[in-house]
Amino acid sequence: MSLITDILGAGVNAASGGVLGAIASIGTGVVSIFTAKAQFAHDEAMAAHEIDKIKVNSEAQSKLSADQLKIVMEQGADTSFNTAQIAASNLSNVWPIVASVVSLVRPAILAYLGVVTHYYYLHATPEEQSLIIQAMVELFGMGVGFYFGSRTMLKMVPSRTNPSA
């Protein structure tokens, strides 16, 4: 009996080893399925994070580009204003301070005329005030028309230099 018991014991051991191996293999498969699901969720979260990171970098780059464009436009406006001031003074062979003073003469005269007109307006009768307002509107329209008209004519006349260029 001991031989039969030994053979049966060896068979049971072999069978139990195979059964336990199969159970362990199934357990490993189940664990690897959960591991794969967790890895997929992790990869998905990392991809979403990377997309968010790219979006934030893109928005930051867009804002930086817009800010740089704004700076370039402001620098261009400053350069254009300075060029127009020099061209308006039509003094290219004098010191810059002299050209600045000369370019301020016209605005100073305009301010003086505004103060004088205001003084006379305050001390006038209502009929005279009406005439002063009509004259100011006409003069304002004429001044704006002359300013823009002369700039347009300077662009059209080929023999003169263009001050806005």
Six-digit token string for 44: 């998905």
Instruction: Please give the pLDDT value at position 165.
Output: 46
Instruction: Return phi, psi of residue 155, to 5°.
Output: -70, -30
Instruction: Please give the pLDDT value at position 124.
Output: 92
- Tracing tokens 């020099």 back to the chain, one arrives at 86
Cα 39–Cα 50–Cα 64 angle in degrees, nearest 5: 175
In this predicted model, what pLDDT tens digit does every residue of 3-29 receive, in sequence order? 777 677 767 766 666 666 667 777 777
- The answer to whether residues 83 and 76 touch, using CB atoms and an 8 Å cutoff, is no
Angle between helices 96-103 and 105-122 (to 10 degrees): 20
Domain boundaries, the chain: 1-78, 104-165
In this predicted model, what pLDDT tens digit does every residue of 76-94 receive, in sequence order? 777 777 777 666 656 667 7
